[in-house]
Amino acid sequence: MTGQQRSIMPKSLTQVRHVFLDMDGTIYNGTKLFPTTPGFLAFLTAAGRGYTFLTNNSSRSTAEYVAKLAKMGLPSEPENFYTSTDYAIDYLKTNHPEFSRLYLLGVPAIRPAFAAAGFQLVEEAPDAVIVAFDKTLTYRTLCRAAWFIREGIPAFATHPDVFCPAEPGEWLVDCGAITACLESSTGKKITVLGKPDPGFLRAAAARKGVPVEDVLMCGDRVSTDIALGFYAGSITCRILSPDSEFTSPEGVVPDYTVNHLGELQAVWEAQEAKKNRNDPSGRRTSSLSGLV
């Protein structure tokens, strides 16, 4: 993946038709909902703009994510989510319609999504191996996946994250680390999906019927969230969360940087007000959007 040239002046938020939001570090931290999240989502709804929670985390089903947000006091619907599991399914359907039998390393909660999409989850003679977050991973299942990959069966990882956010005292080994293990032991490359693969955002936008150029991608990680939007050609906004990381792929710079979604809303409202006044300058009206 390569970056693309961006003008110094970012596109106006007034052209955004749909917002894609990372979850942990963007709308909540751990199990605590950020106080500006409900107001920002209400702002989008009132303006007739849709939003989708876009996550690399394949440790939960969509139903479990709905329940997780409900516990935080944030109601949502299944259509508000697009996960790396969803993208893996869409990717296989689009690029490898000949695949029907899959060997899956993943938590039980995501298995029904593959089955509902028409795939058979098998223990023998798979067409492809799928590597996801897997708390049920055993040495036997890991070695079985390695055998299939070594024998030339194509393999796909749902996302590249090497660890998963966890409670204090835990460090959860994620999909990217399992992928690295399998690549090291087999000498074979695994196709890695999820953020920052631009196809992830393009597929999510296509589901909503919105051109990717007219969407806003918000997240706290430059290396995944912002790089995803940057490579796909969308508008991007970085949220400086408490655990925000500062690594950045070469050339990847967010269009907007704010401390929280409330600040993004303020920038957006200022731009809307300027547009309504028919200001021909088109310049940004808040220094918040220029934070670095």
For the stretch 264-273, pLDDT in tens is 999 999 999 9
| CATH code for the domain in which residue 276 is found | 3.40.50.1000
Residue 242, pLDDT score: 63
Residue 2 pLDDT level (bands cut at 50, 70, 90): very low
> Domain end: 127, 161, 192, which one?
192
Give 276's pLDDT tier (boundaries 50, 70, 90).
confident
CA dist 37 and 43 (Å) reads 10
143 lies in the same domain as 127: yes
Q: Does residue 67 fall inside a structural domain?
A: no
State yes or no: pLDDT of 78 exceeds 60: yes
Please tell me whether residues 172 and 205 are part of one structural domain.
no
Same domain membership, residue 205 and residue 176: no
- pTM as predicted: 0.88
> Quick one: pLDDT band at residue 284, thresholds 50, 70, 90?
very low
Q: Quote the domain boundaries for residue 227.
A: 13-56+195-290
How many independent structural domains does the chain possess? 2
Per the DSSP assignment, residues forming a β-bridge with 236 are 217
Compute how many other C-beta atoms are within 10 angstroms of the C-beta atom of residue 145: 27
Among 173, 192, 211, which residue terminates a domain? 192
Q: How confident is the model at residue 141 (pLDDT cuts 50, 70, 90)?
A: very high
Same domain, 180 and 210: no
Q: Is the pLDDT of residue 245 over 70?
A: no
User: How does pLDDT run across 229-239, given as a tens digit for each residue?
Assistant: 999 999 999 99
pLDDT for the residue 279: 58
| Band of residue 292 on the pLDDT scale cut at 50, 70, 90 | very low
Is 241 contained in some domain? yes
| Maximal CA-CA distance, the chain | 65
Q: Do 184 and 209 sit in the same domain of this protein? A: no
Is 72 part of a structural domain of the chain?
no
pLDDT band per the 50, 70, 90 thresholds, residue 3: very low
Those residues with Cβ within 8 angstroms of residue 72's Cβ, 6 or more apart along the chain or in another chain: 28, 31, 32, 33
> Is the residue at 216 inside a domain?
yes
> Are 147 and 232 part of one and the same domain?
no
Confidence of residue 168 (pLDDT cuts 50, 70, 90): confident
Share the mean pLDDT of the chain.
90
* 162/133 Cα distance (integer angstroms): 10
- DSSP for 266-279, please give it: HHHHHHHHHHHTT-
Q: Is the dihedral of CA 57, 61, 62, 67 positive or negative?
A: negative
Residues 178 and 138 in one domain: yes
| pLDDT reported for residue 243 | 61
The tens digit of pLDDT for each residue in 185-225 reads 999 999 999 999 999 999 999 999 999 999 999 999 999 99
Statement to judge: residues 187 and 91 lie in one domain: yes
Q: Are residues 182 and 226 in the same domain?
A: no
Reported as a single tens digit per residue, the pLDDT across 178-190 is 999 999 999 999 9
Q: Same structural domain for residues 284 and 235?
A: yes
Q: Note whether 111 and 180 are same-domain residues.
A: yes
pLDDT of 244 higher than 90: no
pLDDT at 288 over 80: no
Angstrom CA distances, 23 to 28, 157, 195, 244, stand at: 6, 20, 13, 12
Instruction: Give the pLDDT of residue 277.
Output: 84
Last residue of a domain, which of 160, 192, 224?
192
pLDDT at 5 > cutoff 60: no
5 assigned to some structural domain? no
Same domain, 160 and 250: no
H helix runs in 58-174, sequence order: 62-71, 84-95, 111-116, 139-150
Please report whether residue 69 resides in a domain: no
Q: What is the pLDDT of residue 11?
A: 87
Establish if 143 belongs to a structural domain.
Answer: yes
266 lies in a domain? yes
